Amino acid sequence: MRDSIRQFAEQAARLAPLTVAFLAVTATMLVATIDTEINAIFGVRRTRPLVRRIVVYVIGVTLGPILAGASISATTWLVAQSLDAVPVRESLATLVGKPLPWLFAAVALALVYRIVPYCSVRWHHAIAGGAVAAGGLEVAKAWFAWYVTHVPTYRQIYGALAALPLFMLWLYVCWLIVLVGAAIVATLTPGSRRASDR
């Protein structure tokens, strides 16, 4: 894991300034789209003041990925050290490590559902939506892995470009699951448009 991060940092250091600027603009547009869509699901018609919007976008583009990477790296290291220090069976190590991706996704999505909407969202609603969406992502991941390994027709149709439509499909499914989780939280949140439509 550390070697991968080091190699990524070395490759990132070689990027041209124009490439870095293009990447920053793309990431900012992505954060703006996420902000707009989740607020639309919650029925929020007002927008954040410009200064607060800039702060949220800067945090989303810079601090969010850094914290996510550090959290995953630290937790993976702690679990690996703990499992190395304590003699356990292989099945117990698998049992401990299996729910970690779901847990990370649930925490990250709960934070998104709590922080991104420009309205008051209760923590237990955000956690419920994050848990459901993380479960959906895990089911989609298992289905997608099964499809890629057992259905070879996509390679016959697309040939060498088969990875591109699969990647686009994966992005679509993930984004759909995240938005369904946001809709669940909006339905549970008192005062949101979805909650008043119930």
Is the pLDDT at 195 greater than 60? The verdict is no
Q: Which two tokens stand for residue 157?
A: 């149709």
Per-residue model confidence as pLDDT tens digits over 38-61: 888 888 888 778 887 788 777 777
Q: Which tens digits make up the pLDDT trace of 60-116?
A: 777 767 766 666 666 666 666 666 666 655 555 566 667 777 888 888 889 889 988
pLDDT digits (tens, 9 = 90+) for 127-169: 999 999 999 988 998 888 887 777 777 666 666 676 777 778 8
Per-residue pLDDT at 193 exceeds 60: no
Per-residue pLDDT, 85: 62
Q: Which two tokens stand for residue 37?
A: 């869509």
